[in-house]
Amino acid sequence: MKPKLCVIDDSRIVCNGIMNHIRWEEHGIEPAGAAMDGEAGLALVRRERPDILITDIRMPRKNGIELFRDVLDLGWPCKVILISGYTDFEYAQEAVRLGAFDFVSKPFLAEEIVAVVNKAKARIEAEREETARVRGLESRVRESLPLLRQEFVQLLLRVASTPEQTAKRWDFLQLPPAMADFVVLAVEIDGAEPSVASGGILDIELARFSLSNILEETVAQATRGVVVRDGLSRFALVLNAGQDADATSQLAELCREHVERYSRHTVSIGVGSPAPTVRELPESYRHALAALSYSFFSGGNSVFRYADLADRPAETEPYSPDSEKELLLYARAGNKTRALEALSAIYAGFDDKRTQVAPDGTASAFLKLAEALYGVLAAAAGKDADARGRAAGELRALRAEAPRTLAAWKETIDRVCADVCDRIAAERTHESEADIQRSVAYIRAHLQESLTVQSLARLACLSTSYFANLFKKQTGVTVAQFIIAERMNRAKELLAEGKQVQEIAAMLGYEDRVYFSDAFKKHTGLTPSEYRQRISG
């Protein structure tokens, strides 16, 4: 929209010159009228609401400064440009105090008027852009309030804060609960993770939306509270519940019943400890999660109170250290079959002691197994920083997204164990191949020496039998056969170079020329002399 311009001056020549002899349309300005005195000018301003007002200071009935004050009283954001003479100094000072946009001194040229109006236009356009930007931000803030509430409450559940630190933000976000006498409920959608794994992300999103509505409506019937999403399949409910533990438990049961009745899902709920102020919200949240963890055993669709966990049994180890040592022994050897058998024996210990170990203790024991298995993998990597880094990264990922049920833990540890064994076995195969390649290179470089299986095995730091079997597996021949073949091939090269048979025998580790000749004939079907004659034509 073009800025509107009005001119007020008791000189008809000035008004006519500014309004009619300057092509304002070319400058993006809309001329909106002129007046010959201050009173008529004020009426013009009220009627046209100009964006830019050019007014003389000295006028009959109402001077420019008085008109300026009246325009300010109207509250209309108008850029006022004053036309002043050399004797208007005091008026000009007052205009500056009132916030005049600019001045034009008499006499003036049309170019001066155009320049100052364009300057005002640029300021108006910048202010309009800023106003639009601020309004856009305000609109986005209003639209974002639900998300901002979610993020703020999630922060309060994790970081202790005082009421003084929280009150202003609490009021700005218009959170429903009063800032006292809280309790936190942790609500988990049963079986959500398998649905996501099978590609049901849309189902999960629909479930979260519908369950959030069910929980909000159920809570609203009993107390004031806020429901926030807390991860992929969990909600946190921050309620005003006071110290009435029974009422809170009844509300939790009602939430569970309503979800089961009005949706295709079930939920498990953990009820935290009372939180008198926002400072205790993180503790109530942790306690709610601790209570919720007992869904590890229940199969879901249950409510657990943290207050009921005080009498839980003491922690015990679900498997013996010897069982773990046996597992790691097979893992270090890359023996997947025996390692998985050892795991099955460990799982039997979990099953036998399930009633004696709390969910967090059971999960910790599984995580300890995972750490031990990844430790074996990292140790096997030796100086390979990339391999050690991959093992550490996989362990961090497992800690971040730990399984939530006994069955899921077993499946995960089986997978980790099998993967560790496969990688170690593959690395051992690679190392064995490298050992044999080094032995082959050594043989070729030391054909003049006395080479035996025993000496080569010692150089490779392997047992004689293991080295011999490994060598034949990779080369297809025994060590002795390989040494003879390499010596005979070298002998052929030396004969072609014109070396004497006696000299060649010595160069290839044969003390007896006759023994060398016999070996050569046995290998090639020709004596050294016959071979030389054949290749020389």
Say whether both 199 and 286 belong to one domain: yes
Task: For the chain, give the percent of residues with pLDDT over 70.
Answer: 93
Domain end marker among 311, 331, 359: 311
In a domain, 267, yes or no: yes
In a domain, 155, yes or no: no
Give me the pLDDT at residue 400, please.
Answer: 84
Residue 259 and residue 211 in contact, taking contact as beta carbons nearer than 8 Å: yes
Q: What is the mean pLDDT of residues 448-465?
A: 84
**Is residue 355 scored above 70 in pLDDT?**
no
Give me the pLDDT at residue 93, please.
Answer: 72
Expressed as residue numbers, the domain containing 472 is: 446-536
Residue 233 and residue 206 in contact, taking contact as beta carbons nearer than 8 Å: no
Comparing 221-225, 275-279, 484-488, the range with the smallest average pLDDT is: 484-488
Give me the pLDDT at residue 354, please.
Answer: 53
Comparing 93-102, 439-448, 490-499, 506-515, the range with the smallest average pLDDT is: 93-102
Structure tokens at 301: 């669709």
In a domain, 477, yes or no: yes
Give me the pLDDT at residue 239, please.
Answer: 94
More confident residue, 114 or 470: 114
Q: What is the mean pLDDT of residues 415-441?
A: 80
Say whether both 373 and 459 belong to one domain: no
Q: Where does the pLDDT of residue 155 fall: very low under 50, low under 70, confident under 90, or very high at 90 and above? A: very high
Say whether both 333 and 388 belong to one domain: yes
Closest CA to 23 of 100, 111, 104: 111
pLDDT per residue as tens digits for the range 1-18 = 899 999 999 889 899 999
More confident residue, 248 or 511: 248
Rounded distance between C-alpha atoms, residue 179 and residue 240, angstroms: 8
Residue 492: left if φ>0, alpha if ψ -120 to 50, beta else—which one?
A: alpha
Give me the pLDDT at residue 186, please.
Answer: 97
Residue 41 and residue 78 in contact, taking contact as beta carbons nearer than 8 Å: no
Number of domains the chain is built from: 4
Say whether both 233 and 297 belong to one domain: yes
Q: Where does the pLDDT of residue 123 fall: very low under 50, low under 70, confident under 90, or very high at 90 and above? A: very high
Q: Where does the pLDDT of residue 30 fall: very low under 50, low under 70, confident under 90, or very high at 90 and above? A: very high
Say whether both 173 and 272 belong to one domain: yes
Read off the CATH number of the domain in which 474 is found: 1.10.10.60
In 266-353, alpha helices (H): 281-292, 295-298, 321-332, 336-352
pLDDT per residue as tens digits for the range 395-418 = 888 888 888 777 888 899 899 899
Q: What is the mean pLDDT of residues 82-107?
A: 76
Q: Where does the pLDDT of residue 226 fall: very low under 50, low under 70, confident under 90, or very high at 90 and above? A: very high
**Is residue 317 scored above 90 in pLDDT?**
no
Give me the pLDDT at residue 146, please.
Answer: 84
More confident residue, 4 or 178: 4
Rounded distance between C-alpha atoms, residue 409 and residue 425, angstroms: 24
